[in-house]
Amino acid sequence: MYYARQESNLKRTDQVTSVMMSHLTEQGYNFSSYRLVYPIPQREIDVSYGILTQNKGY
pLDDT tens per residue across all 58 residues of the chain = 445 556 667 777 777 777 777 777 788 877 777 777 789 999 999 999 989 999 888 8
Give a yes or no: residue 19 inside a domain: yes
- The amino acid sitting at 42 is Q
Give a yes or no: residue 26 inside a domain: yes
pLDDT computed for residue 38 by the predictor = 87
Give a yes or no: residue 40 inside a domain: yes
Alpha-helix residue ranges (DSSP H) falling in 1-58: 2-12, 16-26, 42-47
Give a yes or no: residue 25 inside a domain: yes
**Alpha carbons 38 and 54: distance in angstroms, whole number:** 9
**Alpha carbons 43 and 24: distance in angstroms, whole number:** 33
Please state the domain count of the chain: 1
Tell me the residue range of the domain where 10 lies.
2-47
**Per the confidence metrics, is the pTM higher than 0.75?**
no
